[in-house]
């Protein structure tokens, strides 16, 4: 079982370019999440999806879009990258969106640098 | 979800017990206390969670104060592989998001 995979592992991107970060899980989890992690700021939620076909905005959604066409995949798109989007991006999933006991599983992360 | 407060950093000697504190004075009666940790260059991973009673698993123990306004993650014998950032998070029945703060960075000294 692979769990959650993310691609690419790292990327250097010119400002203004479009970029899609890929996330795939094989655990049949309904809920998926995208976080960014910046030094000194911890993990911040960008977008989430409670189930296939639905998405929602987190704390820092501006400049990012997501889609959830099926259960397994949850891509994150930067339509026109800016240097402030330089960060480490983590994808995560849970079996269900709600409830206080379910645990969240994280992917290995994508390190993105926007120049 | 209510917020938590943790020290920014802590140090421990290898093979010594480590007590990582977390304050959550605004916790509600139905909030669960979760702990995650993030090893260097990896995504966070689940450690343990509890509601009222102390909890033990193969990774750690969770001690919850009687008034539930604070909790302590206990690593019984710290190893170098335990060096990580530890996050204390509250989870409610109504919220569907995890709010990670900046956590506690644990350094284990050989």
pLDDT at position B99 is 79
Distance in angstroms (rounded) separating the CA atoms of residues B27 and B3: 8
Q: Burial-class residue B66 by CB neighbours within 10 Å (0-12, 13-18, 19+).
A: exposed
Pair A62, A84: CB distance under 8 Å: no
Question: CB-CB: which of B42, B91, B101 is closest to A42?
Answer: B101
Cα B104 to chain centroid, rounded: 8
Distance in angstroms (rounded) separating the CA atoms of residues A30 and B81: 32
Q: Render pLDDT for A22-80 as a digit per residue (tens, 0 to 9).
A: 999 999 999 999 999 998 778 899 999 999 999 999 989 999 999 999 999 999 999 99
Enumerate residues 6+ apart whose C-beta is below 8 A from B86: B6, B20, B35, B36, B37, B47, B73, B103, B104, B106
pLDDT at position A85 is 97
Query: Contact B32/A108, CB-based, under 8 Å?
Result: no
Whether residue B3 has pLDDT greater than 90? no
Q: Tell me, what DSSP letter sits at residue B31?
A: P
> Looking at the complex, does the CB of residue A90 fall below 8 Å from at least one CB of chain B?
yes
Residue whose token pair is 């079982």: A1
Name the least confident of A49-53, B49-53, B90-94.
Answer: B90-94
pLDDT at position A102 is 81
pLDDT at position B1 is 55
pLDDT at position A46 is 95
Inter-chain Cβ pairs, chain A and chain B, closer than 8 A: 58
Name the percent of chain B lying above pLDDT 90.
76
pLDDT at position A98 is 75
Q: Which pLDDT band, with edges at 50, 70 and 90, does B95 fall under? A: low
Instruction: Report the residue of A92, A102, A104, A109 to disrupt the B interface, i.e. the one with the largest count of B CBs within 10 Å.
Output: A104
Pair A88, A59: CB distance under 8 Å: no
Query: Contact B93/A90, CB-based, under 8 Å?
Result: no
Instruction: Report the residue of B29, B37, B43, B99 to disrupt the A interface, i.e. the one with the largest count of A CBs within 10 Å.
Output: B43
Partners of residue A98 in chain B, C-beta under 8 Å: 93-94, 96
Q: Render pLDDT for A69-113 as a digit per residue (tens, 0 to 9).
A: 999 999 999 999 999 999 999 999 998 877 778 889 999 999 999
Partners of residue A105 in chain B, C-beta under 8 Å: 46
Angle at A60 between CA A55 and CA A65, to 5 degrees: 40
Whether residue B77 has pLDDT greater than 70? yes
- Chain B residue with the nearest C-alpha to that of A89: B43
Q: Burial-class residue B48 by CB neighbours within 10 Å (0-12, 13-18, 19+).
A: buried
Between A99 and B29, whose confidence is greater?
A: B29
> Looking at the complex, does the CB of residue B9 fall below 8 Å from at least one CB of chain A?
no
């Amino acid at each position: 079982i692979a769990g959650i995979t993310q691609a690419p592992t790292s990327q250097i991107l010119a400002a203004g370019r479009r970029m899609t970060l890929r996330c795939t899980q094989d655990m049949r989890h309904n809920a998926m999440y995208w976080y960014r992690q910046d030094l000194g700021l911890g993990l911040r939620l960008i977008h989430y999806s409670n189930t296939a076909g639905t998405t929602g905005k987190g704390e820092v959604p501006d400049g990012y879009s997501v889609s959830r066409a099926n259960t397994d995949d949850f891509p994150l798109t930067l339509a026109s990258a800016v240097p402030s989007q330089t960060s480490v991006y983590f994808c995560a999933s849970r079996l269900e969106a709600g409830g206080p006991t379910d645990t969240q599983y994280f992917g290995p992360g994508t390190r993105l640098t926007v120049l | 979800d209510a917020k938590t407060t943790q020290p920014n950093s802590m140090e421990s000697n290898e093979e010594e017990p480590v007590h990582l504190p977390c304050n959550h004075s605004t916790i509600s009666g139905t909030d669960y206390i979760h702990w995650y940790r993030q090893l260097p260059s990896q995504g966070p991973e689940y450690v343990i969670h509890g509601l009222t009673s102390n909890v033990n698993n193969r990774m750690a123990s969770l001690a919850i104060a009687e008034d539930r306004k604070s909790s302590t993650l206990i690593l019984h014998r710290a190893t170098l592989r335990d060096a990580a950032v530890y996050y204390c998070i509250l989870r409610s029945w109504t919220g569907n998001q995890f709010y990670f703060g900046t956590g506690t960075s644990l350094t284990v000294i050989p």
